[in-house]
Amino acid sequence: MDALRVFIAVDIPPFAREKIAEIQNGFKALKLDVAWVQPGNIHLTLKFLGNVDPRRIVEIKGRLKAVAERSPGFRATLGEVGVFPGADRPRVLWVGLDNPDGRLAALQKSVEEELALAGFPPEPRKFSPHLTFGRIKSPKGKAELRNALDGHLETPSAPIDVSSVKLYKSQLTPKGSIYTVLEEFALAGAGRNEG
C-alpha cells in the first residue's frame, strides 16, 4: 500500500482567498522568482503529518474527531503580510491569521497533543498562524520585496468563522500540489459536514 501524504488544516472562505489573491497580484508585479500558491490551495496548516501508511488514517480521523468535539468554533481575521524566515533571507511569503482570544493556538496545540498520542512527533517550531501564498526560489528582487512588505503592514478583512478542521491528502504533481479532503470535522457548536 502506497503511503499517503497528509496534513491537517483550517480552510478559509472565498472572500479571504480573493483578498489574498489581490495581495499576491501586487507581489507578482515585482517580477520576483516565486512559485505562487493557487488561491484555491491556500489554507492554514495546523499539522503536517507527511507520508502516512493508509491503515493509520482511521486512527488519525478518530483523534481529530476527539479534538473537534472539545474545541469551540471561533473567529479570526487576516493579519499582516510577512516572509519566513526574515527579510534578509526570504523563503516564504505569507499573510498572518489573527485570533486575539487564543482559540486558534489552543486548537493547534490540541491537534499536536492528540496526534502525539498516536506517535506523530510534535512540531519543534513555535506555531505561527499563516497562509502561505508564495515560495521564494531566489533572492532576485529582494530590495523591491522589502519595500512591498513595508506597504502591507495591515490587511483589513471581515471576520473569518472557523467552524471545522480538515484532514487533507496532498498529491505532488509537476503542475503543483493537488489537495483532496479526506474528512471534515465540525468544531463544537458548529454544524457537521463530513465527506
Question: Looking at residues 127-150, what average pLDDT do you find?
Answer: 89
State the CATH architecture for 4-186: Alpha-Beta Complex (3.90)
Which sequence positions are flagged as catalytic?
43, 130
Residue % of the chain over a pLDDT of 90: 73
Mean pLDDT of the region 27-39: 90
Tell me if the pTM is above 0.85: yes
Check whether 132 has a pLDDT greater than 70. yes
d(CA 11, CA 176): 18
| Residue boundaries of the structural domains of the chain | 4-186
Asked if residue 151 has pLDDT above 90, the reply is no
Average pLDDT over residues 88-101: 92
The three grid cell numbers given for residue 76, joined into one nine-digit string: 479570526
**Which candidate, 181, 161, 157, places its Cα nearest to that of 171?**
181
Q: How do residues 69-93 score in pLDDT, each as one tens digit?
A: 999 999 999 988 999 998 888 999 9
Give the mean pLDDT of 48-62: 96
For the cut 80, the answer to whether the pLDDT of residue 160 exceeds it is yes
Residue 95: the pLDDT is 93
